[in-house]
Structure 1
Amino acid sequence: MGIVLKQSFINTIILFLGFAIGGVNVLFLFTHFLHEDYFGLIIFLLSAANILLPLLVFGMQHTVIKYYSSYKTQKEKDGFLISTLLIPLLVIIPVGLIGTYLYETIANWLSSENILIKKYTYLIFIVAILMGYFEVFYAWTKVQFNSVFGNFIKEIFARICTTFLLFAVYFEWITNEQFIYAIVVVYAVRTLLMKLYAYIVYKPQIIFKIPSNIKEILSFSLYIVVAGSAAGILLEIDKFMIPKLEQIAEVAYYSVGIYIASVIAIPTRAMQQITTSIIAKEMNENKLFEVGKLYKQTSINLLVIGGLLFLLINLNVEDLYLLINKPEFTKGISIVLIISLAKLMELAFGTGNAILVNSKYYKIFFYLSLAMAITVVVLNNWLIQLIGIKGAALSSLIVVVLYTIIKIGYINLKFNIKPFSLQTVKLLCLISCIFILFYFWNFSFHPLLNIFLKVILITILYVFLIKKMNISEDINMLFKTYFNKK
């Protein structure tokens, strides 16, 4: 776990810093500096681009990680990397031509309920390409076990640029409309920086040679394209569908709640930057014992950290919304709790998705992802109309819990490994007890002071009990290393 812990630790710091900057942007600057319709618009455009991303790059970011370590010679590896840049063009060019021909029809459909969208529809395609190639170049560095810089560019650079642009709107240096175009430029610069760094880490020789296992690569990529698109739908479809069923401003209210809850996912995002490549390498070498060990370790460690974040967020959420001081955004309070529970389930799954994607059973990941996407679309269509934006959050929770249980069962069936133990049960009981204890315990001071006091009390109690109950060997080892020195 050495390289995993080291880079995960750095990536976690980067992600927390990125989320802190993003938190200022989403909770305060977007809500006060940008008109809520344009706030909803930028969220919609980025969500739509994320859904389109896997198709346009043909899943090459995942293909790089799965197959790079399987090649034995440097020439094979170099030819493979160059291919991952060229293959997406076979999709991008025809999709672009079709999109140009049908542009008016597509734009009218997307803007049927919110005419503001129509003018900016073409930006979805451009941003999706920029996002896609960023992920491909980022994958190049991940297979060299170098994930930190890419994580910095992805999580911090774009958010800092967004902060400056929001202030530019506030001081009337740019308009709300110009802000939308400026964000696209930020994504272009981000991709360029990632490309330059990928070449610094490792610059392959330009070899135009079709990989010997091209059929296998294309088969895997095709499945991953659909699976990735389905995963994108699961993550982004709510923000895509809400403008079709509600006013676009509702996306802004929903997105604030989602953003707050997403802080819980920071640990798993940080660890996945490095563990995915390690899992791929160990699966290629058939080291199932190491895979199972990492599976169990990541599950309990992520759940410990995520559990604390879950408590700190949901036991302070009302005070946090008082600080935002925008009454219309309080619609998102219930969304925070619902999505937080979904994020906890994802944390508990550990490296499960990486095991499925990088095993010979990767096709099941495709079928499950497709089923998840269809289920969440059906549930969204029903629940958003029934209970509004809260229905979108509830749909996500139902789908995540149901299909994560199915995936855990499938991995256990095929590899005889599972992420949970008695310690998992103890941890969930601990989280539940602390939540109930503090949920009805409120201070009557200024919201900022209330948050500060609760954070201190909850953290001290939680950390003390985690150590006392010996929940995680890895975390106890960290305590001995850094806090028991004399």
Structure 2
Amino acid sequence: MGIVLNQSLKNTVITYLGFGIGAINTLYLYPVLLGATFYGLTNYITSCANVIMPLFAIGMQNSLVKFYSQYNTNEEKSRFLSFTVLFPLVLIIPMILISLYFYDEILFFLSKKNEIVKDYVWLIPFIGLCMAYFEIFYAWARVHMHSVFGNFIKEVGLRLFSLVLLIGVYYDWLSVEGFVYATAGLYLLAFLVTMFYAFSIQKPTFQFAIPANAKDILVYTFYIILSGSVANLLLDGDKIMLNQYMIIDNIAFYSIATFIALVISVPSRAMHQIVYPITAKLMHDNKYDELNVLYKKTSINLQVVGGYVMLGIFVNINQLYEMIPKEYNGGILVVFMIGISKYFDLILGNNNAIIFNTKYYRAVLFLGVVLVAVAVGLNMLLIPSYGIMGCAFATLISITLYSVAKLLFVVKRLHLYPFTIQTLHSIILTLILFLLFYFWEFPFNPMISIALKSVLVTIFYVFINYKFVISVEINQAIDILINKIRTLS
């Protein structure tokens, strides 16, 4: 777990730094400088791009991680890397040609509720293509155990440059329309920078040669496309559905709430960057006892860290919404619903990495397709009557059902178990502290209230977790920190 803990901690710090910059953008700059309409438009375009990204990548980012360690010679590895970069073009080019042929029909469908979407539809495939190749070259770096730089570009770089663009809007160097186009340019820049970084780790010798195990790769790739599409539809499909039923401003209201809730999943995102290739290697080597230990450790570590983040958000949510424009205030319940679904997914540890490296992953993926259909149906049913609340409830139900299905699959098929008695202790602790602090309001400025309550929550949460040894590894990290402080003093 040394390299896991090392790079996971770095990735966690980077990801939280990115979310800190994102919080400034999302909670203050986007609503004020762009307004609800263009903020909603920007989110809609990037959400659509994220949904089609798995089709453009053809699952090569996951295939690269799964199969790279199986090649023994540098020639085989080089051939495989070339294949993962060039093969997606086989599907990308026909998809773009088909889209151009049906462009008017696509334009009418996507803009029938919000006319403003019409002028920016072409940015969706452009950004989707940049996202796809970013993920492929990021995977190129990750298989060489270089996960930090790509994570920095993804989590910090994009948000930091968005902040620069927003400053440009503030000083009238850039129009709100220009901001949307410049955002597409940022994704292109992220892809190019990551590509050259990947090449610096291992120089490419491009050759369109078919790997010996091409059939296995293509079969796996098909299901990974399915998996990525399911995951991204569950993540961003709600915003796409909102565009079909409500004015685009509501996407802005919903996006702020979901951004706040997504902070809960940051520890998981950070850890998975390095845990995924390690999980793939353990499964390839049939080291299931070690994998079971890793499963439990990732589960409880993510639960403790993610539970702390969720607790901090939930007990401060009312004060947080006092600090943003009043028209966005209807999203508090959305934060709770999306946050709970993210917390449950978080405590499953490296569950996804295990599933996608087994021969049984297909059944779960088809179940995911069914649950996406359920999500779409629930959104169609609930959005017209309940607006963004209905959308959030549909997402909560869909993500929770999908998470339960994946958990049961790993338990029943592989006899791997993520939970221990500490899992229950952590849930009880988090619930008690929520009930204690949520209804305790300070009669101060919202920022001061958030700071005071956060300090108190941190003291209680860390002390009780440490006292009851909820996570051995986190206790060890705290001990190391205490010893360093004592040494310095």
After TM superposition, the score normalised by the length of structure 2 is 0.98
Separation of aligned partners in 2, 1:87 and 1:431: 47
Query: How far apart are the structure 1 equivalents of 2:281 and 2:363?
Result: 20
Find the counterpart in structure 2 of residue 90 from structure 1: 90
Q: Does 1:113 align with 2:92?
A: no
Consecutive unaligned residues of structure 1, counting only runs of 5 or more, are none
User: Which residue is 1:247 aligned to?
Assistant: 247
- How far has the Cα of 1:484 moved from its partner? 4.1
Q: Does 1:223 align with 2:223?
A: yes
Q: Distance in 2 between matches of 1:481 and 1:265?
A: 26
Aligned mates of 1:144, 1:383 — CA distance in 2: 46
Answer yes or no: is 1:159 the counterpart of 2:159: yes
Is 1:5 equivalent to 2:44 in the alignment?
no
Q: What code does the residue aligned with 1:202 have?
A: Q
Instruction: Compute the displacement of 1:150 (Å).
Output: 0.2
Query: What does the per-residue CA deviation read over 1:85-120, in whole Å, with 9 as the maximum and x for residues that have no partner?
Result: 111101110011111111011011000000000111
Deviation at 1:372, TM superposition (A): 2.4
Instruction: String of CA shifts for 1:274-323, please: whole Å, max 9, x gaps.
Output: 00011111111111111111111000000001111111101111111111
Look up the match of 1:418: 417
CA distance in 1, matches of 2:430, 2:480: 25
Aligned to 1:347: 346
1:195 Cα deviation (Å)?
0.3
Q: Secondary structure at the match of 1:425?
A: helix
Q: Aligned to 2:322, what secondary structure does the other structure show?
A: helix
Contact 1:356 1:364 in 2 (8 A): no
User: Per-residue deviation at 1:207?
Assistant: 3.2
**Is the CA contact 2:66–2:277 (under 8 Å) kept in the aligned structure 1?**
yes
CA contact (8 A) 1:79 1:211 kept: yes
**Do residues 356 (structure 1) and 361 (structure 2) align?**
no
Cα RMSD for the two superposed structures: 1.0
Structure 1 residue 379 displacement after superposition: 1.3
Deviations 1:198-243 (A, max 9, x none): 0111123333321011111111111111121111110000111101
- 2:207 and 2:98 map into 1 onto residues whose CA distance is 31
Amino acid at match of 2:2: G
Residues paired across the two proteins, number: 485
Aligned amino acid, residue 332 of structure 2? I
Look up the equivalent residue of 2:239 and give its one-letter code: K
Deviation at 1:186, TM superposition (A): 0.9
Contact 2:299 2:419 in 1 (8 A): yes
Deviations 1:392-417 (A, max 9, x none): 11112112222222221211112111
Given the alignment of the two structures, is residue 335 of structure 1 paired with residue 334 of structure 2, yes or no?
A: yes
Q: Distance in 2 between matches of 1:377 and 1:484?
A: 52
- Report what 2:440 is aligned to: 441
Q: State the partner residue of 2:394.
A: 395
Contact 1:55 1:229 in 2 (8 A): yes
Distance in 1, matches of 2:173 and 2:433, equals 48
Matched residue, 1:175: 175
User: TM-score normalized by structure 1?
Assistant: 0.98
- Contact 1:345–1:400 under 8 Å retained in 2: no
Q: Is this contact kept in 1: 2:55–2:229, CA < 8 A? A: yes
Name the SS for the 1:315 alignment partner.
helix
Q: Could you tell me how far apart the structure 2 residues matched to 1:37 and 1:286 are?
A: 52
Which residue of the partner structure matches residue 372 of structure 1?
Answer: 371
Secondary structure of 1:146 counterpart: coil
Unaligned runs of 5+ in 2: none
The CA deviation at 1:331 is 1.1
What is the letter of the counterpart of residue 397 of structure 1?
L
Aligned partner of 1:448: which letter?
M
1:240 is matched by which residue type in structure 2? I
In structure 2, give the amino acid aligned to 1:378: G
Whether the 8 Å contact between 1:299 and 1:350 is mirrored in structure 2 is yes
